[in-house]
Structure 1
C-alpha cells in the first residue's frame, strides 16, 4: 500500500491532475451557482452568449497548443537526459513540482473552458454567469506567464550542472536525514538477540522507502525491537525476509509495520548509495567516446567528493535507539566499501584519460588524508 501511495505521489501526473480537478470544480460551481458579481463593472461583465462562445473557443484552441508544446518540451528534456547523462536521473527531473503545476494550470484551463462551453451551448441554458468568460481570460493570462517561466526552467534543466546538482542535493538530503538521527545511532551487539517473528512480501522489488519515525514509534509503543534484514536500496525477492522483530506480532501490528516499508519496482532514488551510483554513471558516461565530455565527468567527481566528505560525518552504527526506548537495527553500506566501489568503477573507465586519471588520484588522496 505504501509503495502504491508513494508511486502516485511521485508521479508526474499527481499534482497536474489535482490542479485540473480544481479548475473543473470551479466550472461546476459557476454552472450550479451562477453569479452576477461583475454587475457593478459592466465594461468587463460578459453575458452575451456568442461572445462567451468565442472567448471559450479561442481559449481552448490557444491553450491546447500551449499544452502540447509544453509536454513536447518535457519529453525532449527526458530524452536528452537519457542520451547524455543517465536514465536513472529521470525520477529526479519528474519530481520537479513547478513543472507539474504549470502543466496542471494549462490542462485545467482547457477543462474549465470545455465544461463552460458545453453549458453555454446547451439548449436548456438558464442564467449565464457574468464571471465565466472574464475568468477564462484571466486563466489564459496566467498560463502565458507560467509558460514564460516554463521556458526558462526547461532551458536550465538541460544543463549538466543543473542535473548533477539536483542529484547531489537529493543525496545530501538523504545523508542529512541520517545525521539528524546521530544522537541515537550506536554500534550494538545483536548477535545474541533472538528474533521471534519476521515480515516478508509476496512481491519482488527494491526496498525503496522506510518510514523510520513511524517504525520507531511502533517499537516504543509495543516494546518490541525491529531489525532490517535488508539494506535500503537492495533488491528483495518474493517471500524473502525483510524485517525481524524481537517478539511475535499480531495482525494489526504486522499491518502497521508493513505500511512502514515499501518494496517497489522503481529505483530507490532517496537511498544514499543510489545517489553515489547515479553520479558515478554520469561521470563514466561523460568520459565515454560516444559522449566525449570530460568536463561533465570532472563536475560529477567534484560533487562525489563533497558527498564523501558529508558521508564521513556519519559514525559507524548498526542500530538506532530513541529516548523513549524504541530500537531499530539497520545498517548502511560502509563508507570504505562505498569508496572502493565508486573509484574502482571510475578508474576502470577513465584510465585512458590523463586529466580524469589525475583528478581521481588527487580525489583519493584528499579522502584518505
Structure 2
C-alpha cells in the first residue's frame, strides 16, 4: 500500500509542480526574513520604492494569472483530443511529461512568490523591504514568458499522433530492455508445487502495477525463502486474493516488509510490457474505425508493434529469476505466442474491411514468421 501511494505521488502531474512552487514560496520567505541585500554594490539592480515594488508585483501577478489559465486550458484541450482520437489509456504518458510539470510549476511558483512579497510589502509594520524582490520578480516573469512560448511548441507537438505513438513505443521498449538486462539470471525450471505452503494477500483490490524485483530477491537471499508471484503483472487483484506464495512461514514484520515491495493500485498498470502492446493496439483499432478513418496511423502503429515483437522475442521463456546471492523469485510474462495471437486477432477483427491494412498485417506476420514459424496466420 505504501509503495503504491509513493509511486502514485511521484508520478502525479502535481508532484514536480508542487516542489517547484514550494521552492519559489520559500525563496520569497527567505527574502522577507533576510532583507539585507548582497548586491548593494549594484544599485541599478535594486528597487527600494514600495510603490514601485507594489506596481511590479501586481502587474506580474495579473499577467501570470492570464498565462497560467491559458496554459491549463491548452493542456486540458490536448488531453481531451487525445482521449477522443487515440486512447484514454495513453493519458498517463502525456501527464508524465516533465516539461509540462516544470512549466506549470514555474508559473505557479512565480505567482506564489509575488503573493508572499505582496503581503510583506503591503504591511505597514515593516519598514525594510527586500530590494532584490522586485528585480527577481521581473526576471521570473521573463522566464515564464519564454517558458510559455516553449509550452505552445510542446503542446503543438504532443497533439500529433506520431508523437503519442512514439512515446508509447519508447515506453514499452524501455520495459523490454530492462528485462533483457537480466537475461543471464532468467531460467525455466520445473516448479515444485509442494513447497508453496504459505501465501500473502492484500485487504484492498486493484491492479498489480509493479513489484520491487531486486528488493524481493535480496529478502529471499537474506532469509532463505523463495517467492512466487501468482498473478500476471497488470492483472486485477481482488480483496483477500493470494498474490505471492512463499516457501515458509514468516513473521508479521517481515510480511509487511514484503508487502511494501508489491504495488497494487487503482490505476491500470502502464509499466507492463503487455499493457504497452494493448495500448498501441487500441490506437490502431480506433484509427481504423469509420469515426476516425485514419488508416495511416494504423499502419504506423503496426510498424511499431512489429519492432516491439522483434525485441520481445529476445526475452527467453522463463519462470524464475535468480539474484547473484541465491535469491529466488518465480514469475513469468504472458507467453509470446499468446501475445501475438491477441494482437493480430484484435486488429484483424476491426480491419477486415480495409485491404491495405490487412496487407500490412500480413507483411508484419511474415516478418515475424521468418524468425518464428509459429506466428498465427
Bin for the TM-score computed over the shorter chain: over 0.9
Contact (CA 8 Å) 1:207, 1:268: kept in 2 or not? Answer: yes
1:227 aligns to what? 228
How many angstroms apart in 2 are the aligned matches of 1:193 and 1:366? 42
User: Shift of the alpha carbon at 1:42?
Assistant: 1.8
User: Shift of the alpha carbon at 1:365?
Assistant: 1.3
SS at match of 2:317: coil
Contact (CA 8 Å) 1:193, 1:246: kept in 2 or not? Answer: no
SS at match of 2:148: helix
1:167-316 aligned within 5 A: 167-316=168-317
How many angstroms apart in 2 are the aligned matches of 1:223 and 1:114? 57
1:357 aligns to what? 358
User: Shift of the alpha carbon at 1:193?
Assistant: 4.1
User: Shift of the alpha carbon at 1:38?
Assistant: 2.7
Contact (CA 8 Å) 1:84, 1:291: kept in 2 or not? Answer: yes
Answer yes or no: is 1:161 the counterpart of 2:165: no
SS at match of 2:43: coil
How many angstroms apart in 2 are the aligned matches of 1:192 and 1:208? 25
Contact (CA 8 Å) 1:286, 1:297: kept in 2 or not? Answer: yes
Q: Give the 4+ runs in structure 1 shifted more than 4 A.
A: none
1:188-243 superposed Cα distances (whole Å, 9 cap, x missing partner)? 11134411321111111110011111111111111110000001001101100000
Long gaps (5+) in structure 2: 371-377
2:375 aligns to what? none
How many angstroms apart in 2 are the aligned matches of 1:151 and 1:331? 43
* TM-score, normalization by structure 1: 0.99
1:71 aligns to what? 72
How many angstroms apart in 2 are the aligned matches of 1:323 and 1:23? 45
How many angstroms apart in 2 are the aligned matches of 1:41 and 1:187? 71
How many angstroms apart in 2 are the aligned matches of 1:322 and 1:115? 52
Report which stretch shifted further, 104-113 or 123-132: 123-132
1:61 aligns to what? 62
SS at match of 2:244: strand
Contact (CA 8 Å) 1:37, 1:130: kept in 2 or not? Answer: no
How many angstroms apart in 1 are the aligned matches of 2:307 and 2:248? 42
Answer yes or no: is 1:148 the counterpart of 2:141: no
User: Shift of the alpha carbon at 1:35?
Assistant: 2.1
- CA root-mean-square deviation: 0.8
SS at match of 1:129: coil
1:32 aligns to what? 33
Contact (CA 8 Å) 1:20, 1:105: kept in 2 or not? Answer: yes
2:86 aligns to what? 85
1:329 aligns to what? 330
Answer yes or no: is 1:46 the counterpart of 2:27: no
SS at match of 1:154: helix
How many angstroms apart in 2 are the aligned matches of 1:47 and 1:267? 54
Contact (CA 8 Å) 1:44, 1:134: kept in 2 or not? Answer: yes
2:105 aligns to what? 104
How many angstroms apart in 1 are the aligned matches of 2:214 and 2:152? 39
2:348 aligns to what? 347
SS at match of 1:43: helix
Contact (CA 8 Å) 1:31, 1:119: kept in 2 or not? Answer: yes
1:321-351 superposed Cα distances (whole Å, 9 cap, x missing partner)? 1121000000100000000000000000000
How many angstroms apart in 2 are the aligned matches of 1:357 and 1:112? 58
How many angstroms apart in 1 are the aligned matches of 2:196 and 2:291? 52
How many angstroms apart in 1 are the aligned matches of 2:44 and 2:9? 45
SS at match of 1:13: helix
Long gaps (5+) in structure 1: none
How many angstroms apart in 1 are the aligned matches of 2:87 and 2:318? 32
SS at match of 1:147: helix
Count of residues in Structure 1 that have an aligned counterpart in Structure 2 = 369
User: Shift of the alpha carbon at 1:112?
Assistant: 0.3
